[in-house]
Structure 1
Amino acid sequence: MRGYVIVEVSGYALEKFMNLALKDSQYFWNIIRKNNKMYLYTTTKGFKKLKPYAKKSKCHIRIVEKRGLPFLQFRYRKRWMLAYGSLIFIGLMYLLCSFVWLVEVDGCKRLNETEVIETLEQNGYEVGRFKGRLDLRKAEQVLIDAYPEIIWTGVKYEGTKLVVQISESVPKPKLVEETEPCNLVAKRDALITYIATDKGMPQVKKGDTVKKGDLLVSGSIPYNDESGAFYLAHSKAQILAKTGYALTASMPLESVKKDYTERVSSRYNLRLFNFKMPIWKSHSKDVYNHFDEIVTVKQFKLTDKFPLPFYYECTQKVEYVPKQQVVEEETAKEKLYGALYDALLEKLGEGSNVLYHEVSYKQEEGKLVATLQAIVEEDVSEHVGLSLEEIMPQNKVEGENE
């Protein structure tokens, strides 16, 4: 801000010059010696004080470079438009930095970042808003109210960015209250292969065929006396059964391959919000029957924390020639088999076992259709709470006994 100069000292008594200057505690720095010359940095006042020492030591001293704001002002003292332009530029940059030009969300795992940004925009926290009018604490409450999965959120400014940090709750595991009376029912049609009851009254045995919704283990257990009374329990059993799955998938035996040519049409724009200003366009008058359009958008930034509302946009049309490509039947079969088997494993739970599976193929209208038939041994039981009709009669009997 105050300016400084780089001084060159030459002569045969450089050591004497340095001793005289250090004796009077003169201020200079960055001393470098090259051959028979010495270079040092000092202030403008310091340079004037070094002249007598140079004369006593018979050394020559001169300024080789001037740096700093005072010299810059003197150099451009007659260029008033440059000064005004600089002030206007600084003012515009300060004004632009008072707005939000980018919303950034961090920490989303189960939530969608785009949906979070849209929620903020619907409540007035969008790009282009003046930072002084935004209540960040209110924005945090908006997100917590909108998404029960959020247990904590922090909203802050980083330059011209509105940064939203989110912490999501851990999904609650599905817990079964073992004190609540319930039945075990079948969730699929199946053939019972194994049953071991821990609590409850079994209603089926090995070898029985059940349909979806059939009662497997009852939570109503009769007493061993002749009163006819029942007590309620939380049914618990290990039940395995054979079930059948049928999955179908298809794949075309012909596909289109894009053979790209060297013809590319480009268009460049500068964009401010939704206003586009064309910069340059490639002089290609050819009409492309088949092409892919690639759009590249880059936002101008002062630094990573100071994005600006100016965008550089490049749109390219890349021509290609479509070619029909025949897919080999064996390749199609391998892909369909892998996709169907993976889909089967996704449907099955832990502890399931695939006993048998078979895949059949047929061609229909240029497509290869695959059907997977599988027999699986799995747990087909699920807990279902007792209905009011099941509970009330037992309560009535217990009341009469009392």
Structure 2
Amino acid sequence: MYLRGYVAVEIRGRDIEAFMNISTEIGCPIWHINRTSSTSVRLFTDLNSFFRFKSLLRQTGCKMHVVSRSGLPFLLSKMEARLFFTMGLILFILGIYVLSQLVWRVDVEGNEQITYDEIIVAAKDQGIYPFQWKFRLQESEILSRTLTQALPGAAWIGVDVKGTRILIKVVEQTVPEPKVLRNPRHLVSNVDAVITEIFVERGRPMVKPNMKVKKGDILVSGILGNEENSLVVVAEGKVKGLVWHLYDIQSPLTHKHRVYTGQSKVRQYFVIGNRALQITGYGKLPYADTESDSKRKKLQWRNIILPFGWIREEIKEVRIDKENIEVRDAKSIGLSQARADITTKSSKNARIHSEKILHEKIEGGKVYMKVLFEVEQEISTELPIIQGE
């Protein structure tokens, strides 16, 4: 009955019984008959019988009102009325499906020695590149084996297809570092200092703790023996000494920091692949200083990440507030920055022994200090031994 279509109608009149009797006699099926009043009845009939009711209504003097329509003919009629919408919907779904069958991105991770370009070129030779049809790709195991053979420095390469994205995972071969051949050398001081510690692995020590040395003095000699019987070696060891660093420090008495005002503007973007089309939030920003925060949402169908999405960018107004600082706090900040600079520029295990403020003044909203730092640090550096020395 759904395929042929049926309607619910309400028959009104004084001779409803005659209408129903004649309908039954001429073979018009009616069902779900329900009397709604003394002069009206509601019933269901098929679509063909509905059109035959017109002559019966004239014979019996009744009137008919359509309550509802159901079935395939009415559905097709609605779809025909909305043809462009239906076709657009079908084309949109078809377009989404077609685009989801393309490779939109090729990412590489795990490579250090092998360059990104080398991997991409090898992958392209195997058909892995953006806008390639996924059904044209070989099995992941075959691609993995082929790429591993094509890149000599790779121990293993995995190819993982995730929706419209292909991830190439690289595990590189572990190659032992070649042993460096070193020429004979001395260890000399790279700065004026007072020796605090000396440890010699190879060579002849030339200094002792508490000795003063100048830049260029030999700390550990690479020549063993005497003039008649000598041996030239690679001097190795560690020598630490006290070194003096003089710093001119300037520290402001005001601190600037950025705070949010609470005012913001939102921009929305529609994303296709790597391109973004702005949809909302046009116009010049009314703020002098801003910070922005972006959040991206990707469309996903089942386990397939589609190349479409949205970006929501919130642009917040920021102002610069100034805060006065006590002199002792400004001095503390300046000294901390100087200590950090010493630690960065000195050897790895450098340690500050003492610090002394030689001069201090406040001028122009700043604290000026001349500070002497005493630092224990590694002071040795290499000096090649020239043949015939």
TM-score (norm 1): 0.56
Alignment partner of 2:376: what SS?
Answer: strand
Cα drift, residue 216 of structure 1: 2.0
CA distance in 1, matches of 2:365, 2:148: 55
- 1:378 counterpart residue number: 377
Alignment partner of 1:129: what SS?
Answer: coil
Structure 1 residues 108-147: aligned runs within 5 Å: 128-130=130-132
Structure 1 residue identity aligned to 2:377: E
Structure 1 residues 45-124: aligned runs within 5 Å: 79=79, 88-104=91-107, 106-107=109-110
For residues 2-47 of structure 1, the C-alpha deviation after alignment (integer angstroms, 9 at most, x for no partner) is xxxxxxxxxxxxxxxxxxxxxxxxxxxxxxxxxxxxxxxxxxxxxx
Alignment partner of 1:302: what SS?
Answer: strand
Q: For the structure 1 residues 322 and 106, does the alpha-carbon distance in structure 2 shift closer, same or farther, using more than 3 Å as the test?
A: same
Indicate conservation of the 8 Å contact 1:297/1:311, yes or no.
no
Choose from 156, 160, 163 the match for 1:156.
160
CA distance in 1, matches of 2:340, 2:381: 24
Indicate conservation of the 8 Å contact 1:144/1:152, yes or no.
no
Alignment partner of 2:244: what SS?
Answer: strand
- 2:279 counterpart residue number: 279
Structure 2 residue identity aligned to 1:93: I
Alignment partner of 1:331: what SS?
Answer: helix
Alignment partner of 2:333: what SS?
Answer: helix
* 2:269 matches 1:269: yes
CA distance in 2, matches of 1:181, 1:368: 50
* 2:233 matches 1:233: yes
* 2:192 matches 1:189: yes
Structure 1 residues 190-229: aligned runs within 5 Å: 190-195=193-198, 199-223=202-226, 228-229=228-229
Indicate conservation of the 8 Å contact 2:106/2:130, yes or no.
no
Indicate conservation of the 8 Å contact 1:144/1:153, yes or no.
no
CA distance in 2, matches of 1:345, 1:171: 34
CA distance in 2, matches of 1:245, 1:172: 40
Cα drift, residue 338 of structure 1: 2.9
Choose from 284, 296, 304 the match for 1:306.
304
CA distance in 1, matches of 2:178, 2:322: 50
Q: Single out whichever of 329-338 and 135-144 deviates more from structure 2.
A: 135-144
For residues 52-75 of structure 1, the C-alpha deviation after alignment (integer angstroms, 9 at most, x for no partner) is xxxxxxxxxxxxxxxxxxxx9999
For residues 130-180 of structure 1, the C-alpha deviation after alignment (integer angstroms, 9 at most, x for no partner) is 2568896687799987xxxx8765443222122243557889899887x96
Where structure 1 has 5 or more consecutive residues not aligned to the other structure, the ranges are: 1-71, 391-402
Cα drift, residue 276 of structure 1: 5.0
CA distance in 1, matches of 2:334, 2:192: 27
Indicate conservation of the 8 Å contact 1:191/1:241, yes or no.
yes
Indicate conservation of the 8 Å contact 1:186/1:381, yes or no.
yes
CA distance in 2, matches of 1:382, 1:324: 46
Cα drift, residue 261 of structure 1: 3.7
Q: For the structure 1 residues 276 and 130, does the alpha-carbon distance in structure 2 shift closer, same or farther, using more than 3 Å as the test?
A: same
Alignment partner of 1:163: what SS?
Answer: strand
TM-score (norm 2): 0.57
- 2:14 counterpart residue number: none
Structure 2 residue identity aligned to 1:129: F
Structure 2 residue identity aligned to 1:377: E
Identity over aligned residues, as a percent? Answer: 22
CA distance in 2, matches of 1:315, 1:326: 34
Where structure 2 has 5 or more consecutive residues not aligned to the other structure, the ranges are: 1-70
Indicate conservation of the 8 Å contact 1:271/1:311, yes or no.
yes
Cα drift, residue 381 of structure 1: 2.2
Cα drift, residue 89 of structure 1: 4.0
- 1:393 counterpart residue number: none
Alignment partner of 2:216: what SS?
Answer: coil
Q: Alpha carbon RMSD of aligned pairs, Å?
A: 4.9
Structure 1 residue identity aligned to 2:131: R
Structure 1 residue identity aligned to 2:373: A
Indicate conservation of the 8 Å contact 1:299/1:308, yes or no.
no
Alignment partner of 2:167: what SS?
Answer: strand
Choose from 343, 352, 355 the match for 1:354.
352
Q: For the structure 1 residues 100 and 254, does the alpha-carbon distance in structure 2 shift closer, same or farther, using more than 3 Å as the test?
A: farther
* 2:265 matches 1:242: no
Structure 2 residue identity aligned to 1:234: V
Cα drift, residue 219 of structure 1: 1.6
- 1:387 counterpart residue number: 386
- 1:335 counterpart residue number: 333
- 2:22 counterpart residue number: none
Q: For the structure 1 residues 262 and 344, does the alpha-carbon distance in structure 2 shift closer, same or farther, using more than 3 Å as the test?
A: closer
CA distance in 1, matches of 2:368, 2:129: 49
- 1:41 counterpart residue number: none
Cα drift, residue 356 of structure 1: 1.9
